[in-house]
Amino acid sequence: MAKGIREIKRQIKSKQNTRQITKAMEMVAASKLKRAQNNAEASRPYADKIREVVFSVAAGSKGVQHPMLQVREVKRTGYLVLTSDRGLAGGFNANVLRKALNAIRERHKSTDEYAVFVVGRKGKDFFKRRNIPVFDEVSGLSDSPTFADIKQLASSAVQNFIDGNYDELYVYYNQFHNAITQTPVEKKLLPLEQPESGSSAVSSYEYEPSAEGVLEVLLPKYAETVIFSAVLESKASEFGARMTAMGSATKNATKMIAELTLSYNRARQAAITQEISEIVAGANALN
């Protein structure tokens, strides 16, 4: 009985230590979430505005040609998957990786038919374990990433489409809604859908030197901006998911501690009762 009590006491101590860790991680994630959320929300108007300008220039110029606007026969596809470097974030990584993996398996029969770009160690390890080659990757991003951190990867993903190494490019990431809700989404980044000329949403611009020259600069910038905006959304989603997961873990640890404490008290009470019974039995034997 004494051994059982000691074991329960050891388990209670272990759960208390775990609860301390998960509570601390929850508070750290909550403190980082606000800044990441602000960064994600601040990037949305800029991405929307540059999209408006690009589409206005493309729609207002007859016969404009650019590789990023041309729809080609799909022979090869590019996938850019955004994950985190660390786990303990609930289904944050699993959901987006499952979505990307299902799309790859449904659309392709050979690794020659696609190219995978990854942000985050979790994604890199996930694909390598499944013998899916990773064309390029970046990891070790800070909690508040800058465009310079992902510029090389974003430029590589866009340039490979322009060079014809694949005929479409998809981005997979967790879209941030709030601390509890993050939705894994698939966004077709390239080719851009060219709006119809004469649309009422098209603004009037004067171009220098030409519409083609403007689009030559703006289109890659736009695609890279969308990728960076997705990275910020993913970061906010990561902290929200981690805060929620660690909060649930803390509650579960508290519940387990309460159950173990009850078991401990019952075992101790049973041990005391047994000792009293033995003492009484011994006294009666002497009489």
In a domain, 279, yes or no: no
pLDDT for residue 125 is more than 70: yes
CATH number at residue 120: 3.40.1380.10
Distance (Å, rounded) from C-alpha 86 to C-alpha 89? 8
Q: How much is the pLDDT for 60?
A: 64
Q: Which two tokens stand for residue 202?
A: 């098209």
52: domain range? 25-244
Structure tokens at 273: 């009762």
The mean-pLDDT minimum among 83-87, 110-114, 184-188, 189-193 falls in 189-193
What pLDDT score was predicted for residue 215?
81
Burial code (b: 16+ CB inside 10 Å, e: under 16) for 209-229 equals eebeebbeebbbebbbbbbbb
Mean pLDDT of 64-88: 90
Residue 9 lies in a domain: no
Task: Render the burial of 242-258: b for 16+ CB within 10 Å, e for the rest.
Answer: bbbbbbebbeebeebbe
Share of the chain above pLDDT 70, in %: 92
> Do 184 and 174 touch, CB atoms closer than 8 A?
yes
CB 226 within 8 A of CB 189: yes
pLDDT band at 277 (very low <50, low <70, confident <90, very high): confident
- Arithmetic mean of pLDDT over the chain: 88
Residue at 167 is within a domain: yes
Compute CA 231 distance to the chain's CA centroid, rounded to the nearest angstrom: 8
Domain count across the chain: 1
Region 259-282: mean pLDDT is 85
Q: pTM, whole model, 2 decimals?
A: 0.86
State the average pLDDT over residues 175-198.
83
In a domain, 19, yes or no: no
- Structure-model confidence comparison of residues 261 and 218, the more confident one: 261
The predicted model gives 124-128 an average pLDDT of 96
Residue 25 has pLDDT above 70, yes or no: yes
Sign for the pseudo-dihedral over CA of 246, 248, 252, 255 = positive
Mean pLDDT of 166-172: 96
Residue 120 is assigned to a structural domain of this protein = yes
In-domain check, residue 45 = yes
204 vs 104: which has the higher pLDDT: 104
202 pLDDT above the threshold of 60: no
**Spatial distance between the Cα atoms of 1 and 3, rounded to a whole number of angstroms:** 5
At 287 the pLDDT is 66
Whether 252 maps to a domain, the answer reads: no
Give the mean model confidence (pLDDT) for residues 2-12.
Answer: 84
Residue 168 and residue 78 in contact, taking contact as beta carbons nearer than 8 Å: yes
Q: In which band, very low, low, confident or very high, does the pLDDT at 205 lie, cut at 50, 70 and 90?
A: low
Q: What is the mean pLDDT of residues 122-137?
A: 95
204 in a domain, yes or no? yes
* pLDDT value, residue 210: 74
pLDDT grade, residue 199 (50/70/90)? very low
Question: In the structure, what pLDDT confidence band is assigned to residue 77 with cuts at 50, 70 and 90?
Answer: very high
pLDDT of residue 62: 63
Asked if residues 91 and 55 have their Cβ atoms less than 8 Å apart, the reply is no
Residue 5: band (very low, low, confident or very high) from pLDDT cuts 50, 70, 90: confident
pLDDT number for residue 267? 86
Residues 231-252 have a mean pLDDT of 96
Mean pLDDT, residues 210-216: 78
